[in-house]
Chains A and B, each alone.
Chain A
Amino acid sequence: MTAIAGFSEMVTRNLRQSGIFAAFVLIVLLFSLLNSNFLSPGNLTNIVLQYSYILILAIGMVMVIVLGQIDLSVGSVVALTGAVAAVLVIRNGAPWWVGALAALAVGGLVGMWQGFWVAYVGIPGFIVTLAGMLLFRGMTYRVLDNVSLSPFGGTYYDVANGFSTNGWFGGYGVDVFTLVIFGLAVVGYAVSQWRTRMGRIAYQQVVESMPIFVAKIAVVAVVVMAFGYQLAQYRGLPNILILLAVLILAYSVITQRSVFGRHIYAIGGNLNAAQLSGVKVRKVTFWTFVNMGLLAGVAGVVFSSRMNGAQPSAGNMFELDAIAAAFIGGASTTGGVGRVTGAMTGALIMAVMSNGMQLMGVPQSIQQMVKGLVLLLAVAFDVWNKRRADAR
Chain B
Amino acid sequence: MSSTVAATRVPVLAIRQVSKRFGPVEALVDVDLVVHPHEVVALVGDNGAGKSTLAKVVSGVMAPDSGVIELDGEPVAIASPSDAHQAGIATVFQDYALCENLDVTANLFLGRELRERSLMRDGEMERVARGILRVLTSRIPSVRTPIAHLTAGQRQTVAIARTLIGSPRLVILDEPTAALSVAHTAEVLNHIERLRELGLGVVLISHNLNDVRAVSDRIEVLRHGRNNGSFDTRNVSQEELLAAITGATQVPEPRPSDVGR
Contact = CB atoms under 8 A, between A and B. Distances in A.
B120 A266 contact: no
A276 B98 contact: no
A275 B118 CA distance: 20
Contacts of A275: 81
Interface in B151-205: none
Interface residues of B, number: 28
Interface in A257-300: 257-260, 262-263, 265-266, 268-270, 272-279
B161 to A, nearest CB: 13
A337 interface: yes
20 contacts: A203-B126, A205-B142, A205-B144, A262-B110, A263-B111, A265-B102, A266-B102, A266-B106, A266-B111, A269-B101, A270-B101, A273-B98, A276-B59, A276-B81, A276-B93, A277-B81, A277-B97, A278-B82, A279-B111, A336-B100
Contacts of B97: 270, 272-273, 276-277
Nearest to A276: B97
Contacts of B82: 278
A283 to B, nearest CB: 12
Contacts of B99: 265-266, 269-270, 273-274, 336
A16 to B, nearest CB: 13
Nearest to A277: B111
Interface string A49-65: 00000000000000000
A272 B61 CA distance: 11
A278 B119 contact: no
Interface in A179-216: 203, 205
Contacts of B144: 203, 205
B134 interface: no
B234 interface: no
A253 B117 CA distance: 13
Interface in A44-103: none
B51 to A, nearest CB: 17
B122 interface: yes
B83 to A, nearest CB: 9
A258 B111 CA distance: 12
Contacts of A273: 97-99, 110
Interface of A: 203, 205, 253, 257-260, 262-263, 265-266, 268-270, 272-279, 336-337
B102 A269 contact: yes
Given A203-B126, A278-B85, A259 B102 contact: no
Contacts of A336: 99-101
A13 B102 CA distance: 18
A205 B145 CA distance: 11
Interface string B77-103: 000111001000001010101111110
B93 A257 contact: no
Nearest to B86: A278
A266 B110 contact: yes
A260 B112 contact: no
A270 B118 contact: no
Interface string B104-128: 0010001111010011101000100
Contacts of B115: 259
Contacts of B93: 276
A257 B116 CA distance: 11
Given A259-B113, A274-B99, 18 more contacts: A258-B118, A258-B120, A259-B119, A263-B111, A266-B99, A268-B101, A269-B102, A270-B99, A270-B101, A272-B95, A272-B97, A273-B98, A273-B110, A276-B91, A277-B111, A278-B111, A336-B99, A336-B101
Interface string B60-73: 01000000000000
A217 to B, nearest CB: 22
A336 B103 CA distance: 12
B101 A257 contact: no
Contacts of A253: 119
Interface string B207-238: 00000000000000000000000000000000
B101 A262 contact: no
A293 to B, nearest CB: 20
Contacts of A270: 97-101
B237 to A, nearest CB: 37
Interface in B25-70: 59, 61
Contacts of B122: 257
B120 A257 contact: yes
A270 B99 CA distance: 5
9 A-B pairs with the lowest CB-CB distances in the bound complex, closest first: A278-B111, A277-B111, A278-B82, A269-B101, A269-B99, A336-B101, A273-B97, A277-B110, A270-B99
Contact of B118 (A203, A260, A265, A266): A260
Given A265-B99, A265-B101, A273-B97, A259 B120 contact: yes
A273 B101 CA distance: 12
A268 B106 CA distance: 14
A390 to B, nearest CB: 9
A374 B118 CA distance: 38
Contact of A258 (B81, B106, B119): B119
Contact of B110 (A205, A272, A279): A279
A180 B215 CA distance: 66
Contacts of A272: 95, 97
Contacts of A269: 99-102
A258 B113 CA distance: 10
Nearest to B83: A278
A262 B98 contact: no
